[in-house]
Amino acid sequence: MPSPVSQPLTASRLQADLARRILKSLKDQGAEPGHHLVEQDLCRQFGVSRTPVRGALKLLAAQGALTSRNGRGFALAEKVADAPDIEPHRGDDQEARHLFNAIARARNAGKLPDRFVQQEIVRRFGARLPVVLLVLRQLGELGLLERQPGHGWAFEPAPDAQRAQAESYAFRRALEPAMLLQPTFRLDRAWLEKARAAHLKIRRRPWRASDAEDFYEVNADFHEALARCCGNRYMLGAVQRQIQLRRFLNHHLEYDARRVHSAIDDHLEILAALEGGWNDKAAALMLHHLTISARPQDEDGHAA
């Protein structure tokens, strides 16, 4: 029997995600071969409809993790050792990112109520239900949204969002300097040159409010790429989650030119230290950068 991780498949983002979560649940339960999987129970457990659950089960059957019972559902083929290697369609990831950003803009503009049902998101944004469910779950994992009884969802109140922002910076101050000191850190010098050029392009031109999105993406790439360089998958995953959180919470911010230029200067200094092999200096600079960035702006745009 093939191993559940030996044959990569292509699936929708939601199906791939559900497949991993179903196997993880079975592993946590210590389920034995022959364990019967009930679609309705899985729908309740993961808060989705039958269609994505059925698709995830078919994927796991194609992987060899499950066996079909001739129209009577699926059973576990062997004890679970790992999650399946199933790659989502890139189109689903792009659609999810667009929806994530659209929800962030609407929420920060006061155009989304505190409580809603997922069909409202489908209608308002013209999104497919599987993508809506994926994005809502992402927001839930970030602590911004909570599932209510039935099919309802509720945003965390504003004070909790502010707390999430503060806790995010505290977490990043502990994480990001440390990742520059990992023995597995390997600087991607080709990326460094591109990143430096992107920073300088924004730094040297007159600042416009419309540049905020470009700056955000350059900033996000800076932090994520350094996490990739550190060679630790768990650190990378944590940084990626923090980028998602900031993408949502900061969608309403208007960046001040002086603050943007200060952040760019910090980034360039960190890159120069890494390029010179001074990772301990880069780590200290990163800690200082995140400490300053965590401070709120005053009326003149300076860190208060």
pLDDT in tens, 185-227: 999 999 999 999 999 999 999 988 778 878 888 999 999 999 9
> Given CA atoms 82, 85, 87, 88 in this order, what sign does their dihedral have?
negative
Q: 145 and 216 share a domain?
A: no
Task: Identify the residue whose tokens are 């997922």.
Answer: 118
Q: Is the pLDDT of residue 8 over 50?
A: no
Question: Cα separation of 198 and 195, whole Å?
Answer: 5
* Domain assignment present for 4: no
Higher-confidence residue of 6 and 104: namely: 104
* Each residue's pLDDT tens digit, 110-149: 888 889 888 889 899 998 877 888 888 888 888 888 888 7
CATH of the domain at 151: 1.10.10.10
Q: How confident is the model at residue 179 (pLDDT cuts 50, 70, 90)?
A: very high
**Comparing C-alpha atoms, which of 269, 265, 225 is closest to residue 243?**
225
Length of the chain: 304
Q: What's the domain range around 123?
A: 90-155
Give burial (CB, 10 Å; 0-12/13-18/19+) of 107. buried
Q: 184 and 271 share a domain?
A: yes
Question: Cα separation of 274 and 172, whole Å?
Answer: 19
Q: 200 and 122 share a domain?
A: no
- The number of folded domains in the chain is 3
Backbone dihedral region of 110: left (phi > 0), alpha (psi from -120 to 50 degrees) or beta? left
Question: Cα separation of 95 and 129, whole Å?
Answer: 11
* Domain assignment present for 2: no
pLDDT-wise least confident of 47-51, 167-171, 188-192, 249-253: 249-253
Q: What is the mean pLDDT of residues 244-262?
A: 79
Which two three-digit tokens encode residue 271? Answer: 């890159």
Percent of the chain topping pLDDT 70: 85
Q: Is the pLDDT of residue 173 over 60?
A: yes
In 17-52, which positions are buried (b, 16+ CB within 10 angstroms) versus exposed (e)?
bbbbbbbeebeeeebeeebebeeeebbeebebeeeb
Helix, strand, or coil (residue 146): strand
Q: How confident is the model at residue 253 (pLDDT cuts 50, 70, 90)?
A: low
Q: Are 82 and 5 in contact (CB under 8 A)?
A: yes
Per-residue confidence (pLDDT) for residue 5, from 0 to 100: 39
Higher-confidence residue of 8 and 27: namely: 27
Phi/psi of residue 252, nearest 5 degrees: -95, -5
Per-residue confidence (pLDDT) for residue 176, from 0 to 100: 97
Q: 199 and 78 share a domain?
A: no
Which two three-digit tokens encode residue 17? Answer: 């995600």
Query: What residue type is assigned to position 238 of the chain?
Result: A
Q: Are 202 and 214 in contact (CB under 8 A)?
A: yes
Per-residue confidence (pLDDT) for residue 6, from 0 to 100: 39
* Each residue's pLDDT tens digit, 29-78: 888 888 888 888 888 777 777 777 888 888 888 777 888 877 678 888 88
Question: Cα separation of 226 and 19, whole Å?
Answer: 30
Per-residue confidence (pLDDT) for residue 49, from 0 to 100: 75
Among 44, 64, 88, where does a domain finish?
Answer: 88
Among 105, 137, 155, where does a domain finish?
Answer: 155
Task: Identify the residue whose tokens are 């995600």.
Answer: 17
The distance from CA 221 to its chain's CA centroid, rounded to whole angstroms, is 13
Per-residue confidence (pLDDT) for residue 24, from 0 to 100: 82
Q: 132 and 121 share a domain?
A: yes
Q: 123 and 225 share a domain?
A: no
Q: Are 7 and 41 in contact (CB under 8 A)?
A: no
pTM to 2 decimals? 0.62
Q: 94 and 67 share a domain?
A: no
Q: Are 128 and 53 in contact (CB under 8 A)?
A: no
Mean pLDDT of the chain: 82
Query: What residue type is assigned to position 68 of the chain?
Result: S
Q: Are 59 and 11 in contact (CB under 8 A)?
A: yes
Per-residue confidence (pLDDT) for residue 218, from 0 to 100: 93
Q: Is the pLDDT of residue 240 over 80?
A: yes
Most confident among 61-65, 252-256, 275-279 (mean pLDDT): 275-279
Q: How confident is the model at residue 160 (pLDDT cuts 50, 70, 90)?
A: low
Is beta strand 115-117 parallel, antiparallel or unpaired with respect to 152-155? antiparallel
Per-residue confidence (pLDDT) for residue 3, from 0 to 100: 40
Higher-confidence residue of 86 and 270: namely: 270
Q: 259 and 168 share a domain?
A: yes
> Given CA atoms 87, 90, 93, 95 in this order, what sign does their dihedral have?
negative
